[in-house]
Structures are given as structure tokens and as C-alpha cells.
Structure 1
Amino acid sequence: MARDRYRDRLATLRTDVVLFGELVVERYESAVAAAANGDLRAADRIVSGDSEINRRYLELEGDCIDLIARNQPVAGDLRLITASFKILTDLERIADLATNLAERTEYGSEVHPAVDLGSLGLAAGEMVAAAVDAYENDDRAACRAVAADDDTLDSDCAAATQRIIRELLAERAGDDERVRTADTTTRGLLTVRDIERVGDHAVNIAARTLYMLDSDDELLY
């Protein structure tokens, strides 16, 4: 009977991590849309909801610790719990990056026009969603596909950064215009950096899933 409860708790943990991942992806995609559209109300909702994300993260982290402490799992079960623990951390950090985007939207400066926020931001969100699906479904091929997609995202982020810098160097304007340009340039560079980091966290999730399934550290380093 106790063993049945343990198996149920493992299954529940996995389901809860997936649901948390879906919530984080939803928040991130909302933050991208708010930033692209200058939607201050949506941005404020995302910022104010960060404490709830943190609370849920700590609850699930506690579940992982409790499972290890009470049951002393080995082999595959231990890999599932430790992978879940690591994945939760990556998801919480993605939620923090969503909050960063929303806070910059609240600040009011527009995203630099060299950044295709809709395309770039949502590509990273799709990677996170794919990584969470891979964790849910034991999908090894999807884990490797997320890592491959990250190469494209990195290239696109580098290209956006180069466009921002080129436009900054070419700028010829008065004092007021230079202040506005500095604001949009800073926001653009920070936004690109954060989107790239979202992609990195998606790869981390895929890497931990692959290790959970096969003790395969191919994507960890």
C-alpha cells in the first residue's frame, strides 16, 4: 500500500511539473505579446503574478525533497525526481525572464525596431513548450530537436544584436533623440539577451529529460 502511494506521488510530481511548465510558457508568451504591443495592463498582471509563480515553485521543490527524504529512491526514480527538481528551477527562471520583459514594458520605452520580438520571442517559447512535452512523454528525439533549435535561436539573437549595434553607430541625432535611442537600444539588447536565455533554459530542460531517461549526458555540457 505504501509503495502504491509512492508511485502515485511520483506520477503526481511529473504531472505537476508539466502543469507548472504550461503556466510558465503561458506567462512568457503573454509577456512577449505585451512587450510587442506595449500593453501596460497585461505587463502589470505578469509582474504582479510573479509571487504566485515563486510560491508554486517552492511547493513543488518541497515535494521533490520530501520524496527523496521519505523514500530514498534509487536508479530511475531518483533520476526522475532530481531531473524534475532541476527542470523546476529552469522553469522558475524562465518566469523571471518573462517578468523582466513585462517590467521593461511598464517602463514605457519601445522595443528596438531591429528586434522582431514576435518571431524571436515566440520561437524561444515554442522551444520551452517542446522541452516540457518531451519531459512529459519520454521523447528523446524531441530533446535533441530542442537543442538543435537553440542553434538557430542563438544565430537569430546574434543577428538582432548586430543590427541594433549597427543602427546605433549610424545614428546622427540631437540630444533628445540620442536619449530616446539609448533607451530603445538598451531595452533591445536586454530583450535579446533574455530571449536567448529562455532558449538556454529550454535546452537545460531537454538535457535533464534525456539524462533522466537514459543517463545520457549528451546535452548537459
Structure 2
Amino acid sequence: MPRENYQERLEELRTDVVAMGDLVLDRYETALRAAETGDDDLADEVIGGDHVVNERYLELEDECTELLALQQPVAGDLRLVTASFKIITDLERVGDLATNLAAYGGDDGGIHPAVDFRGLGDAAGEMVADAVAAYEAGDPDACREIDVRDDDLDERCRRASEAVVRNLLEADRARAATNEAAEPDQLADTLDEISRALLAIRDLERVGDHGVNIAARTLYMIESDDELIY
């Protein structure tokens, strides 16, 4: 393949990875709205459309493999292709987490009154969006800044999980003080709500982790610096 065409395909790969990021983030935003509102149609849209993300991932995986095989790229070209391959894997996993999140909303919407679900969801999603933008622009400073933000998200998720458990304990103590026993159906509903809340917090934290992974691979692509990978 002529070198000019090869360089064009490398640039097309970068463009296609960014487009996959846009697709995943759009689905992620829909998943957040589904969980917030309890809208079954929105949830079904996210869950039923997961194959679109998977198919896009496989197409780009094939493209990365072919680019590696065609000219055995070296140095910067090699880092671009290998970083792109890792990044689409993280994006595919964010898509999987979106399908989880879409199903966590209660019948009337919402996750748990003690959890700032939208705030955590926006923070995690912005990390992924900014990491993809850093990949597109080749911005190493943005990559390092995303890693710093992850510490804040982790701490917010930790506090949210503690708030959910504390809410449960306080409700149990209040019932004990009045000698009121929880009805079986009420107890089952409470446990279901707590389980969904803790799973949602865990998955939002993982979305942020994938944002860091994208930033780490981007930084290595730009500067051959693996400080965020390990």
C-alpha cells in the first residue's frame, strides 16, 4: 500500500475511534436518563441497541489488525494503532456499563435518595468525553488532568456508598425504636433499592476508570509515557 494511503487510513482510524466515542457517550447519556426517569422505553433502547456498539467495536478491531499487518508500523504510527485498539476496548465496556445503568432505575425513576446519581454520572461521562477529546487532539496535559479527577470521583462514590448503607441502618434503628417490624414486601423493596444503588455507584466509578484508561493510552501514544498505565 502506498505510504500516503496508509497515513490516510491512520487518520481515518483516529476519526472513527472518536466517532465510536460519540456513539457510546450518546448511549450512556440515554442510560442515565432512563435510570433517572424509570422510562422503560429508554432503557430498552439502550439495552436492545448494545449490538450497535459491539459491531462498531469489531469493525475497528479488524481495521487495527489490518493496519498492523499491512506495513508493520513503527514508533508513533505503531503507538497510534495500539492505543486505538485499547481505547475502543474501553469504549465498548462503557457501552456495556450503560446497559447496566439503564436498568437500575426504580419503577418511578431514580436510584436512591442518598445518591447524587446525575452528578456522579455526569462526572464519569465527562471524564470519558474529555479523554476521547484528548486522544483526538493529542493533548498530554488533558490526559494527566483526567487522572487527577478520578481521585475525586472515587471519593464521591465511596461517600455515596456509605450514605446508602447509613440510610439503611438509620431506617432499621427507627423501626426498632417503635417496635415496628418491616413487612416482607417492604423489606424486599428496600433491599432491591439498596442493591441497585450500590451497583449503580460501582458502575459509574468504572466508567470513570475507563476514562482514565483512555487517557493513559493516549498519553503513551503521544509521549511514549506509561505513567498512567501502571
TM-score by length of 1: 0.96
CA radius of gyration, larger in: 2
Alignment of 1:220 onto 2:209: no
The CA distance in 2 between the partners of 1:107 and 1:23, in whole Å, is 27
- Alignment-derived partner of residue 190 in structure 1: 199
The size of the alignment, in residue pairs, is: 221
Question: How far, CA to CA, are the matches of 1:42 and 1:109 in structure 2?
Answer: 12
In structure 2, what is the equivalent of residue 112 of structure 1? 112
- Equivalent residues in 2 for 1:113-152, closer than 5 Å: 113-152=113-152
Matched, 1:163 2:163: yes
What do residues 167-220 of structure 1 show as CA deviations (whole Å, max 9, x unaligned)? 122223332221111000000000000000000000000000000011101111
Aligned-partner residue type, residue 54 of structure 1: N
Paired position in structure 1 for 2:29:
29
* Unaligned stretches of 5+ residues in structure 2: 173-181
1:27 Cα deviation after fit: 0.8
Q: Percent identity?
A: 57
Name the CA distance, whole Å, in 2 between partners of 1:106 and 1:74: 51
Q: What's the offset of the Cα at 1:70?
A: 1.1
When normalised by structure 2's length, the TM-score is: 0.92
Label 1:109 to 1:181 Cα distance change in 2 as closer, same or farther (>3 A): farther
Paired residue type of 1:51: H
Query: Is 1:180 the equivalent of 2:208?
Result: no
Quote the RMSD (CA, aligned, Å). 1.5
Asked if the contact 2:161/2:198 (under 8 Å) is kept, the reply is: yes
Report SS of the residue matched to 2:103: helix
Q: Cα–Cα, structure 1 residues 45 and 85, in superposed 2: closer, same or farther, change >3 Å?
A: same
